[in-house]
Chains A and B, each alone.
Chain A
Amino acid sequence: DIQMTQSPSTLSASVGDRVTITCRTSHSISSWLAWYQQRPGKAPKLLIYKASTLESGVPSRFSGSGSGTEFTLTISSLQPDDFATYFCQQYHSYSTFGQGTKVEIK
């Protein structure tokens, strides 16, 4: 199994801040990585796939980068609607998910 390590677990930030979340994998996955946003009691929402491709309808302040074993999700200017939990998913071999990063209001 490919293990996922996501950091930080919690992030306190203010509206307008630039936020970066990191995901590391135990084996190289090329660019087979997705990022999701999840709100309490709701289904995840796809933000980024293939490491850096923005899903249709997702604001351009979200961006993804990386390949191999290290990946980042960046929110360029945090908006009130962005306070949620974010997690990564590798889909190179089956699917495994990161443990999530909760973005809180500072």
Chain B
Amino acid sequence: QVQLVQSGAEVKKPGASVKVSCKASGYTFTNYPIHWVWQAPGQRLEWIGWIIPDNGNTKYSQKFQGRLTITRDTSASTAYMQLSSLRYEDTAVFFCTRGFDSSGYYGDAFDIWGQGTVVTVSS
């Protein structure tokens, strides 16, 4: 069964960092890019970045440039999203998702999604 399983909910203080994992199973991890998307309360989904597991290349949304790091461990078929210098407005659900229909301009459709990880930033 093809799936992405994410790590559990996190509560962090402002200024801290959070690292969310996304474990792939049921397919060859290095064959598909992994994207990260977030959904703040009451807001639309927003793409934040991606990684190509085969070579580790990444691309980040300008909004998160400098605070976001996406990595992968191919031996564990796992991708990671780390967001630093957390702010109250970073409270959101973070999804990892598999891209499968790339347009060639960093755009992709997403066929498999993780269950989501709630990150709450609170003092």
Contacts and interface: CB of A to CB of B under 8 A. Distances in A.
Interface of A: 32, 34, 36, 42-46, 49-50, 55, 87, 89-100
B107 A92 contact: yes
Contacts of A42: 115-116
A91 B95 contact: no
A36 B115 CA distance: 15
B117 to A, nearest CB: 11
A49 B114 contact: no
What is the interface of chain A mostly: helix, strand, loop, or mixed? loop
How large, as a class, is the contact surface on chain B? 20 to 34
A97 to B, nearest CB: 4
27 contacts: A43-B97, A43-B115, A44-B95, A44-B110, A44-B113, A46-B109, A46-B110, A49-B101, A49-B109, A55-B111, A87-B44, A87-B45, A89-B109, A89-B110, A91-B102, A91-B103, A91-B109, A93-B103, A93-B105, A93-B106, A94-B61, A94-B106, A95-B106, A95-B108, A96-B47, A97-B47, A100-B44
Given A50-B101, A94-B106, A95-B37, 20 more contacts: A42-B115, A42-B116, A43-B95, A43-B97, A43-B114, A43-B116, A44-B95, A46-B110, A49-B101, A89-B45, A91-B103, A91-B107, A92-B105, A92-B107, A93-B103, A93-B105, A95-B47, A95-B107, A95-B108, A98-B44
A32 B103 CA distance: 7
A93 B61 CA distance: 12
